Amino acid sequence: MRRALLSVLLVLVAVTALAIFPSTPPNDPLFAPATCPPSSSCNGPTGQWNLLSYNDNVPTTTGASGISTDLAWQASTGRPDVVIAVLDSGVDYDHEDLRHKIWLNRGELPVPSGPCCHAPAADPWDCNNDGVFNVVDYSCDARVTDFNGDGAVDRGDLRVFADGVDNDGDGYVDDLSGWDANDNDGDEFDHRYFGHGTGRAGIVAPETDNTLGVAGVCPRCPLMNVRIDNTFVCSSEGVTRGAIFAVDHGARVINMSLGCTTASRMLRGAFDYATRKNVLAVNAMANEFSFHHNFMAVFDDVMGIGAVTPNSRNGTTTWLQKANFSNYGAHMDVLGPTDVPGASMGLLSSGLPDHAHYDNTASGTSSSTPHAAGVAALIFSRAHDLIASGELPVDRLALKDISAQEVRQIIDRTADDITVTDGTAYPVSSGWDRWTGYGRINAQRAVDQVWVTTIPPEADINTPDWYTLVDGQVNVQFYANARWAPRFGYSLEVAQGVEPTSFTTLATASGIASDPGLSSADLVSNFTASWNTTALSNGLYTLRLRVTDNRGNQGEDRMAVWVRHHDQDDQPGFPRHFDGSLETLSVATVDLDGDNKLEIIFGDGNGEVHAVRSDGTDLPGFPVHTDLPAGLPLTKSDAFVQNLVPLSYAAIIGGVAVADLDRDGQQEIVTAADDGKVYCWHADATPCAGFPVATDPGTSRDPYGTHAQIPKNHPEGIGAVPALGDLDGDGKLEIVVGAIDQKLYVWHANGTRMAPFPIQVFDSSSASGVDAFAPRAIISSAAIADVDNDGTNEIVIGTDETYSSPQPPPGGVGGSGRAYVIKPNGTIAPGWPVKPTSINPNAVPLVAQGVVTSPVVADLDGNGTKEIALGCFLGDATIYNADGSTLRTLQGTFGATGAGSDAEETTPEGGLARSSDQPGHFYVAQGAFADIDGDGRLDYFAGEVGNGLLALAAGDGPRIIFDHLLSGWDATTGTPKPGFPRVIEDWQFFNGPAVAEISGDALPEVIESSGGFFVHAFDAAGFEPAGWPKLTGHWQTSTPSIGDLDDDGRVEVVQTTRLGELFVWRTAGATCQADQWRKFRHDEWNTGSFGADTRRPARITNLRACGNVTLRWTAVGDDGRCGTATAYELRASATPITPANFASATPVAIAPPAPAGTAESRTFQPPSGAVYFALRAVDEAGNAGPLATVAATGSPCGCA
């Protein structure tokens, strides 16, 4: 009872304080800036400068230091019915500055009771009658005890009501205050203690004016926290589930400081669904110093938020410096402050959460985005206040609210434009520009624009979508309306470039009567215009729609698309668009149907595996797909009941491996998915027996017990690409892949696990084991090779482990990662793991930690053992011997001179690196071995980043342009090749080069893609063939794949993009050329081993029987139609022979093959009764070609 009375007193104190705030500043101790003497400045920005309309602590500057929420609060501090959903890593919902702001679900929680309750009749859950339902309403409820022992009533104490029942029938069990959309349970606590979600909640809406911590952007708006993944690097399934949960449970704004690894049609549909339900979503542009397209910021229904910061932590001269790390580009909306104070997640010495932890410099666009979400909530709140008072009449409107599109327009229209006079280091321009969008958010101006005569019209270009490739006549569909004014007009314009200044009008109209029955939530287009691109040059074009009402209010939408005319090298049928993203690192080109033409085999963000023929059509039976994600409210949510969101399957990011797993002569396709399962299909699209198989379920952590494990109900995900190889010596192939749980898994071809796998992979000399609650993922794809020349294959793999020791010299800055050679018996080979060092080995969770890329192996010196090349993020590319000793570190300095990058995303790079931007640093690009110049020595190629990046690591300060490099070294000497490094446009995140001859000059090219819209091909001198580079217009993460798709004697280049485009280009390169590095991980098995022979002989197409004793045909090769096969396998039977019964037919011994193209003839005495024959070629690696069959009729026909 003492605790209950204390809680009531605290509520009374808070109510009293709110009577003063917002007329006076909030009393949160971190809110007010330090006071500085006149004519001086404090040591950098202080207080919550990001929220202020003034800058008292830096008297030498002018203008607001922040977004002017202190003035916006005079009009609105938010409302309890305007809920902000934070989709992130989870939350410390018991934090002292968040506990009273946590949204609670009336449907799952009982009505509070106790002597202090005096709830209004309209809301029995509001025990204390303060207009808010929160944990305080359970302060005197005898059922609620201080479960977590922190002396306060908080969400953690409400677990007493988690009864395992879906009480409100919404499809979610025990969703008391949010949802864990990753583990599909009702506890959204950040059980991995990652902290990112707590930090975002701690900026957008912590409790304000409570004498604790910080103030929030929207002080009275509740926080609905939805855990969508372990970190801000997230799966599309978790975000899809999280967005649908948030929409269905009443969120008005969705904050996402996230970057998804894939994008499915269901993910896109979830944000269309949010728009239909009038929910505004905002997403961080990301912190990659780049223009490439992150999910979900590139979605049309989602606002993209960049970051602005003081230009110096000390001696600030402007508050309007675009943060150097902040991504930019055509899809940018506005900027929010970064490096700001906020409530955050910390740990006590006991290892338990510190519920009173704060961060003074929460950084990244992750921290700028909550400012936009908070201001959006203030706008909705102000509109709801005015609607309730009758000052914003909605009776005539079908949507009786301000629309999400109007809120977006207000934020954009009222932003503080950043111009060249504002002191930023970027070449900004008046109005919208690629660096700062419409400018920095201004909360006061935004809230003040919510009035019946000033709400802007709606403007939305619906098709074509962002960065679509267009050609010829284009139908532009758009929506224009002015719901709050009688009439409006519009102008649709187009111009070339990201931020053109002169536009051509495509369509215009004026005096149109507004339609109150229509809103942007209807997702319809009410106007169309035709755009003829036939005579335009290739390039990026901006469509701009401006809608102006009769009161002079204006709405605007922009859409950037690529005009791409037919390339003379385009393979007919391509490019082809898919509605799932194509990150797929590994694209295989394999003949699945035995016609000697190669199918293009890949997985996508929809969880579908495609087999596309050389003419662009699907192989019959394909696509196949993974399983439906768990946890979807298929029978409960309007999203699915009303078919508003299309279904997709567990996403595939890594790609496919293709091989004859069981050596029966038929190909199998293997892939792994986000759901932690490994799938397998035969070439005819039927599932393999014993599949799918799954990783082990992981564990969650009870937030109030440092070692309490809660088993999960699902396998741990897989982001790596499966590799195939024979590990047990039985001639069949095993499937090898690492997973998010830091385990290495191996399955036999029949789906059973190979003992002793899975094993936990960790450095026992540096750690006592794997952290069960926060394991370091294995994203690295395994190499499989006989490393030590002992006659058995080993597994070579990296992990996301990072350690503070050893550190790179000089200065002892940074740390190191780990890479392993693992024997088939599960033991780590002597001398391993190796410990490559890094300036920053822990930069980005999951994708830029430790040795996240995949080692590659080759026998460099011809002694039979393999050398292994790998690197740690921001370390040096290094080649190790088989015993783990360092053979050589590849030289980071290169002495090249040139212009370097021009930082213009719409034009290709390809020149020499600037001499000042060195040394180069290895990061998360993949490597490849090849002999580029025919000197008989192998070279090594990999993506690097120039040293200028290190100077940009701070968000503020001057702008520095750094180079993205494709580097190449002589692997024998470690010195750069004469024509390398070459500058390319953008990051090579998980990209790797393919190496093949494509120009017709008999010497290979290094073919590489990046995030920067082009695919390059460099020869040994660094020059590109005619017609290269190739424009894709999209971010690419896949390695190009090389193969003769159409069996015409020339190879094609295959490339996929993250926005779902599949390109195929014809080349002059001969099919029969020296094998170099034709795809991701070298080959279709993804062995990562130079020289591995995985390509089978072609099918014999002209097998003829003469009489019943002679067979004639034309010899095929060792690899397809190239070289000389090792042997023939001939079988005879009295019944027709198929792949299924080939092994049971009678073998017939015949002489070995002649070289490919040779006319062959064999005369023999067939087994008694045999009239059917099947023949296939086999190469020296045991790869068998497809069957050719014939029946002996006794006729001499065809034997001439």
pLDDT score, position 8: 36
Query: d(Cα 632, Cα 269) in Å, to the nearest integer?
Result: 14
Beta-strand runs (E) in 301-404: 302-309, 321-322, 334-337, 340-343, 346-347, 353-354, 358-362
Judge whether 1093 lies within some domain.
Answer: no
CATH number, domain containing residue 1174: 2.60.40
Query: d(Cα 615, Cα 608) in Å, to the nearest integer?
Result: 20
* Residue 295 per-residue DSSP state: T
206 in the same domain as 142: no
901 in the same domain as 834: yes
N-terminal to C-terminal alpha carbon distance within the chain = 105
Q: Domain residues for 434?
A: 49-93+177-449
Question: Based on the structure, what is the number of domains in the chain?
Answer: 5
Burial 859-898 (b: 16+ CB within 10 A, else e): bbeeeebbbbbbbbbbbbbbbbbbebeebbebbbebebee
Judge whether 1011 lies within some domain.
Answer: yes
Cis peptide before 26 (omega within 30 of 0): no
Contact 438, 417 (CB under 8 A): yes
* Residue 1098 per-residue DSSP state: P
800 in the same domain as 751: yes
Judge whether 317 lies within some domain.
Answer: yes
365 in the same domain as 260: yes
CATH number, domain containing residue 534: 2.60.40.2550
CATH number, domain containing residue 214: 3.40.50.200
Q: What is the Cα Rg of the chain in Å?
A: 31
Query: d(Cα 723, Cα 732) in Å, to the nearest integer?
Result: 13
845 in the same domain as 722: yes
Contact 857, 793 (CB under 8 A): no
905 in the same domain as 989: yes
Last residue of a domain, one of 511, 540, 563: 563
293 in the same domain as 200: yes
Query: d(Cα 894, Cα 917) in Å, to the nearest integer?
Result: 10
Q: Indicate if the alpha-carbon torsion angle 676, 1056, 1019, 613 is positive or negative.
A: positive
Specify the pTM: 0.96
Relative orientation angle of helices 404-414 and 265-276, to the nearest 10 degrees: 90
CB-based contacts of 961: which residues, under 8 Å, 6+ apart?
A: 900, 901, 902, 903, 948
Judge whether 526 lies within some domain.
Answer: yes
CATH number, domain containing residue 1061: 2.130.10.10
Structure tokens at 1152: 């070995």
1025 in the same domain as 994: yes
pLDDT score, position 46: 85
Q: How many residues does the chain have?
A: 1200
Query: d(Cα 262, Cα 649) in Å, to the nearest integer?
Result: 12
Query: d(Cα 1158, Cα 1063) in Å, to the nearest integer?
Result: 35
Query: d(Cα 557, Cα 459) in Å, to the nearest integer?
Result: 6
Contact 800, 852 (CB under 8 A): yes
Contact 998, 1051 (CB under 8 A): yes
At 414, phi and psi to the nearest 5?
A: -100, 5
Of 990, 993, 951, nearest to 969 by C-alpha is: 993
Structure tokens at 360: 């003074």
1124 in the same domain as 1040: no
Query: d(Cα 346, Cα 810) in Å, to the nearest integer?
Result: 31
pLDDT score, position 12: 34
User: Can you name the residues that pair with 715 across neighbouring β-strands?
Assistant: 697
878 in the same domain as 793: yes
434 in the same domain as 412: yes
Output the DSSP codes for 37-96.
Answer: -TT---SS--SSGGG-S--TT-TT--S-SS--HHHHTTT----TTSEEEEEES-B-TT-T
Burial of 507 (0-12, 13-18, 19+ CB in 10 A): middle
506 in the same domain as 621: no
Judge whether 1098 lies within some domain.
Answer: no
Last residue of a domain, one of 449, 479, 504: 449
Last residue of a domain, one of 387, 415, 449: 449
Query: d(Cα 469, Cα 540) in Å, to the nearest integer?
Result: 9
Query: d(Cα 59, Cα 317) in Å, to the nearest integer?
Result: 10
pLDDT score, position 11: 37
CB-based contacts of 870: which residues, under 8 Å, 6+ apart?
A: 798, 819, 834, 836, 851, 853, 854, 855, 856, 877, 878, 880, 927
User: Can you name the residues that pair with 255 across neighbouring β-strands?
Assistant: 86, 282
Output the DSSP codes for 1134-1161.
Answer: SS---TTTGGGSEEE--PPPPSTT-EEE
Query: d(Cα 624, Cα 601) in Å, to the nearest integer?
Result: 11
Judge whether 5 lies within some domain.
Answer: no
- Which residues of the chain fall short of a pLDDT of 50? 1-19, 1199-1200
pLDDT score, position 1200: 45
What is the SS3 assignment for 839? coil
What is the SS3 assignment for 244? helix
Judge whether 40 lies within some domain.
Answer: no
Judge whether 1006 lies within some domain.
Answer: yes
Contact 228, 242 (CB under 8 A): yes
pLDDT score, position 315: 61
